[in-house]
Amino acid sequence: MIHVKVQQQNTGNEQLNPMQAQLKGRDFLALNDFSSSQLQHILHEAEILKKQHKNGQQDRSLEGKIIGLIFEKASTRTRVSFEVGILQLGGKPLFLSKNDLQLGRGEPLSDTGKVLSRYLDGIMIRTYAHDTVIELARNATIPVINGLTDLAHPCQALADFHTIKEKKGKLKGLKLTYIGDGNNMAHSLMMAGAKLGVDIAIATPPGYEPDASISKLCKNAAVETGATLQITNNPVQAVQGADIIYTDVWASMGQEQEQQSRETAFQSYQVNRELLKHAKNDYLFMHCLPAHRGEEVAADIIDGPQSIIFDQAENRLHVQKAIMKSII
Ligand code: CP
Ligand code: NVA
């Protein structure tokens, strides 16, 4: 679903090139809403912003802009990287906890979206149902960014592909294997792979496969790039020839009551030395964090020399700055 916030377009004196004009005023809700070249443009912007930041140069693209950050779930990386990214771009973040908003007492999302649009220049929201961000975006006249829903975590997946490109020097032709729950992370990695030409294998226990409609969307999106998508219950088969091994928690936020049943179901899906014998020798290990050592991943792997988890976390900052610079 694509919403362009027309009011946001061409309001400044800046001359936009065609790609910038395509992105300005858009929501960032799911990677499927963007073409391969639009995602590549954002990755390229992120590369420039990161270099500039490391060289002490400033980009003040959000000067005078105020961005609201709505959180209905906990966060370390998303909250801090958005707040810092907005400040670095010259804007001001406004942290809005659901408990402090009338939204938490039942005020309709539609009214919230319309009201916040009268004050703010953009909204980032982390919530449960994906429909919540769609509903908010539909009612807001300012760009809305998905900072994680139960269905998708597009900012994390795009930052992860930026990290992979930095480490491997390319994306096309690589294979990423995700072991674990067919959750929001799995969905967004599948879509990023389909759009950016990375082969994806997903290995989950039976009953925990990714959403079938998302898998179908990814397969359709992959036609353009030639990327493949394999979904299996066999982790050994999935890691064969993998360049990247990725995992995430077995019980996501909101699934805490399923922790025990999931621990049982996921027992043979731990990323450990034994499983990684089947991957390429130069595999890289990734995790969106927070992680549970000894559950989804063995401590010697996540803390080992082939783990790039903190580069991933850092790149949230640069990629989200690129997203905000592009759409707001
Ligand atoms: N990876 C991620 O989104 O982390 P937080 O939950 O800390 O924001
Ligand atoms: N799947 C995890 C990702 C956390 C960043 C969750 O939704 O809790």
Work out the widest C-alpha separation in the chain, in whole angstroms: 59
Round to whole Å and give the CA distance between 286 and 289.
9
What's the pLDDT at 98?
Answer: 86
pLDDT at 206 over 70: yes
Instruction: Tell me the ligand closest to 313's alpha carbon.
Output: 1
Question: DSSP letters along 45-69, please?
Answer: HHHHHHHHHHTT----TTTT-EEEE
Q: Is 94 in the pocket of ligand 2 (CB under 6 A)?
A: no
Cis geometry, peptide bond prior to residue 143 (ω within 30 degrees of 0): no
> Domain span at residue 26?
18-152+316-327
On whether both 63 and 196 belong to a single domain, the answer is: no
Whole-number Å distance between alpha carbons of 145 and 137: 9
Q: Tell me: do 59 and 112 sit in the same domain.
A: yes
Cβ count within 10 A of residue 292: 15
Q: Is residue 5 part of a domain?
A: no
Do 107 and 194 share a domain, yes or no? no
The band of 4, judged by pLDDT with boundaries at 50, 70 and 90, is low
Atom of ligand 2 nearest to the CA of 289: 5
Residues 40-59: tens digit of each pLDDT: 999 999 999 999 999 999 99
Q: Given the CA of residue 77, which atom of ligand 2 is nearest to it?
A: 5
Beta strands in 75-179 (DSSP E): 92-97, 122-126, 144-146, 175-179
Residue 252: inside a domain, yes or no?
Answer: yes
Does the Cβ of 243 fall within 6 Å of ligand 2? no
**144 shares a domain with 111:** yes
Query: Of the residues 26, 126, 130, 187, which is catalytic?
Result: 126
User: In this predicted structure, what is the pLDDT of residue 298?
Assistant: 98
Pair 118, 65 in one domain = yes
Average pLDDT over residues 227-245: 98
Same domain, 87 and 72: yes
Ligand nearest to the CA of 77: 1
Percent of residues, the chain, with pLDDT higher than 90? 94
pLDDT beyond 70 at 23: yes
Share of the chain above pLDDT 70, in %: 96
Q: What pLDDT score does 3 carry? A: 56
pLDDT in tens, 56-98: 999 999 999 999 999 999 999 999 999 999 999 999 999 999 8
Residue in the block written with tokens 């001359």 = 15
Helix (H, G, I), strand (E, B) or coil at 79: helix
Residue 282 falls in the annotated catalytic set? no
Q: pLDDT tens-digit profile of 289-327? A: 999 999 999 999 999 999 999 999 999 999 999 999 999
Write the Ramachandran bin of 278: left for phi over 0, alpha for psi from -120 to 50, otherwise beta: alpha
Same domain, 39 and 128: yes
Section 129-133 average pLDDT: 98
Mean pLDDT score, 230-235: 98
| 124 and 53 within one domain | yes
* pTM, 2 dp: 0.96
282: domain CATH number is: 3.40.50.1370
Confidence grade of residue 12 (pLDDT, cut at 50, 70, 90): low
Number of the ligand closest to the Cα of 71: 1
Distance separating alpha carbons of residues 156 and 210, to the nearest angstrom: 17
Given the CA of residue 288, which atom of ligand 1 is nearest to it? Answer: 1
In a domain, 9, yes or no: no
What mean pLDDT is reported for the chain?
96
Instruction: Say whether both 284 and 295 belong to one domain.
Output: yes
What was the pLDDT predicted at 99?
86
Question: Both 148 and 228 in a single domain?
Answer: no
Ligand 2 mean position, distance from CA 10 (Å):
36
What's the pLDDT score for residue 152? 98
- For residue 3, the CA-to-ligand 2 centroid distance in Å is 26
Please count the structural domains in the chain: 2
